[in-house]
Amino acid sequence: MLKTLAVNIKQEFSCIEDISLRSFFGGFSLNSESVMFAWVDQNDVYLRAHDKYRSMFVELGMQPLDLVFDGSHKLLDYYKASDALRQDRKKLHDIVKMVIEYAKQDLDEKVAKYQSRLKSLPNMTVSLEKLMVSSDITDIETFKEVGYLETFYRIKSKNPKLSINVLFGLYGALHDRHVGTLSSETKEEIELAYQNFLNTKQDLI
């Protein structure tokens, strides 16, 4: 039965490159180049929605996917392709190609957003990232502009108990190095640089 479903679905969407099926919520995710664009079960195909075209799905009379999982309903942002739409192969394939395009675009945006996140740097923890964000250092580009010395100064003013190791970690983060690889000489230079930074701050007051 499952093999037959896989064969039928792949035939129905033969225009899609690198198509695959994977078990998902009691049915199967339908993927193109590992990007999920639809959910299918034995009878129906539900296409992934997006702000750009969700209203079109509604106008076409497509119903949202309502799954019962662990005894509770989960309304997913996928809409059922009607029988009429599935019979109109050209229209269906055009819509599916649009869905895939936006799904891949969303994935690219998520990847780009993660890569700009402070958490993606060495030595970063979620708590340290939150502390930096609270000090208006919200992404890697801002961190580079502010520098590790000013960053440590800002976050230490919010949390005076911060260890000097956090300063070492910030230095390593900007230089793509794990704090454990920093030599004692480098750490001494970092401490001296921070002391000079504090002296300069004091002179400006």
Which CATH number goes with the domain that contains 141? Answer: 1.10.150.20
Residue spans of beta strands (DSSP E) within the chain: 19-24, 27-32, 35-40, 45-48, 64-69, 72-80
Instruction: Name the average pLDDT for the chain.
Output: 87
Cα dihedral sign, 107-112-116-121? positive
Question: In terms of domains, do 148 and 104 share one?
Answer: no
pTM of the model: 0.56
Domain boundary pick from 115, 141, 159? 115
| Contact status, residue 124 vs residue 179, Cβ threshold 8 Å | no
- C-alpha atoms less than 13 angstroms from C-alpha of 169 in its C-beta half-sphere: 16
Domain boundary pick from 81, 115, 149? 115
Query: What percent of the chain is modeled with pLDDT above 90?
Result: 49
Name 143's Cβ contacts closer than 8 Å, sequence gap at least 6.
118, 121, 132, 137, 151, 173, 174
Task: Annotate 166-201 with DSSP letters as a single string.
Answer: HHHHHHHHHTT--GGG--HHHHHHHHHHHHHHHHHH
DSSP assignment letter at 138: -
The region of weakest confidence among 17-21, 99-103, 141-145, 181-185 is: 17-21
Question: In terms of domains, do 106 and 123 share one?
Answer: no
Cα Rg of the chain (Å, integer): 26
Question: In terms of domains, do 122 and 103 share one?
Answer: no
pLDDT at residue 190, as a whole number:
96
Domain boundary pick from 50, 82, 115? 115
Question: In terms of domains, do 146 and 105 share one?
Answer: no
Query: Does residue 6 register a pLDDT over 80?
Result: no
Tell me the residue range of the domain where 177 lies: 118-204
| Contact status, residue 43 vs residue 32, Cβ threshold 8 Å | no
Number of structural domains the chain divides into: 2
Cα dihedral sign, 54-55-57-63? positive
The CA distance from 37 to 93, in Å, is 12
Residue 24: pLDDT band by 50, 70, 90 thresholds? confident
